[in-house]
Amino acid sequence: MIAYIIRKLLGLIPLLLATTIIIFLLLKLVPGDPVLAMLGTQGVEEQIYRQYREELGLDKPLHIQYFKWLGRVVQGDLGRSIITRQKVGLMIRQRLAATSQLVFSGFLLGILIALPIGIIAAVKRNTIFDLIVTQMAVIGTALPTFWLGMMLILLFALKLQWLPPSGYVSFSSDFISCLKYMLLPSVTLGLHLGTVLMRQTRSAMLDVLGKDYIRTAKAKGLSEMTIICKHALKNALVPIITVSALQIQRLIAGAVIIENVFAIPGIGRMMMDAIHMHDFPVMQGCVLVVAMLVLFINLTADILYAYVNPRISYQ
């Protein structure tokens, strides 16, 4: 098991390198310039512009720029934002909390919707309940997240005025306010996850419920609850975990959109601003962090498999 984890971690390095190189090249190919973005339409002046470009090494060949950045990163220095001059590491640390909060609550909501409904739909297969739920899932998967987010703001924040339209309060500073501000964004994010997961849960459960050992358990006279929760669900969890892991990664991507719609100061919004302003150090730093997050999630999923189903082992 340990060997497996170490192998996985080592495999991260070429992955990270490749990702950062691709993002770096993509950003460099897009027209625009971070110094011009920083100075803006009211500050750009030839002498100052050229001085900044020289200081930041922006006129050097691309591979030299990339390796200079890489050299600093391996020493633990993510550099400074070209636009705000803040330390990238500090910026990411500050914004990570908001994104984590969003992704976590979206995931939690998604699971809370998906698992019970999926299980019941499988058990009550082909009933009205099952039919309604499956159709709603299709609709839910098709709804674009930003549209859903804006609709929720229009209804709950502007029309009914039950909830604030935008903004963020951290979990640690004011719990109640935090819930109020997080509700709409997490619902928007979680609904999508919920619908996908729900269908996956239903089909995984159906698959397991048709197996011989379930029939044996029924013949043995075990209660329905015990059969569902102890025997069926545990075995159905493997594909559910797989899909969950994939979906969390899509949640992180979805967070970019949600953070912009709901004005949440997270990593997603920081990445979008960095792209607009051609802020390479920030962009590269974010890519690194997100790539590492994705790997961590996959690793966790792998470990959970082994726990849930002891028959799965790693050579």
Note the residues at the interface with another protein (CB under 8 A).
30-34, 36-48, 51-52, 55, 80, 83-87, 91, 94-95, 153, 158, 161, 164-168, 260, 263-265, 269-270, 273, 276-278
In the complex, least distance from residue 209 CB atom to another protein, rounded to whole angstroms: 48
Q: How far is the CB of 102 from another protein (least distance, A)?
A: 13
Spatial separation of the C-alpha atoms in residues 226 and 249, rounded to whole Å: 33
| Distances from the Cα of 236 to the Cα of 80, 127, 202, 219, 240, angstroms | 47, 21, 9, 20, 7
Beta bridge partners of 87: 80
How far is residue 238's CA from residue 308's CA, in Å, rounded to a whole number?
Answer: 7
Cβ at position 288, least distance to another protein in Å: 19
Nearer to another protein, 117 or 271 (CB): 271
Torsions phi, psi for 52 (to 5 deg): -65, -40
To the nearest whole angstrom, how small is the minimum distance from the Cβ of residue 60 to another protein?
18
Task: Pick the closer one to another protein by CB: 54 or 224.
Answer: 54
To the nearest 10°, report the CA torsion of 287, 293, 295, 299.
180
Is residue 198 within 8 Å of residue 121, measured between CB atoms? yes
Q: Which residues have a Cβ under 8 Å from the Cβ of 306 and sit 6 or more positions away?
A: 1, 312, 313, 314
The span from the CA of 146 to the CA of 191, in Å, is 12
Q: Which lies closer to another protein via its Cβ, residue 33 or residue 207?
A: 33
Total residue length of the chain: 315
Residue 138 or 158 with smaller CB distance to another protein? 158
Q: Nearest distance from residue 21's CB to another protein, in Å?
A: 23
Of 83 and 205, CB closest to another protein: 83
β-pair partners for 80: 87
Closest separation in Å from C-beta 35 to another protein: 8
Closest to another protein by CB, 99 vs 244, is 99
Which residue's CB is nearer to another protein, number 44 or number 206? 44
Contact, 72 vs 279, CB < 8 A? Answer: no
CB of 174 to another protein, least distance (A): 13
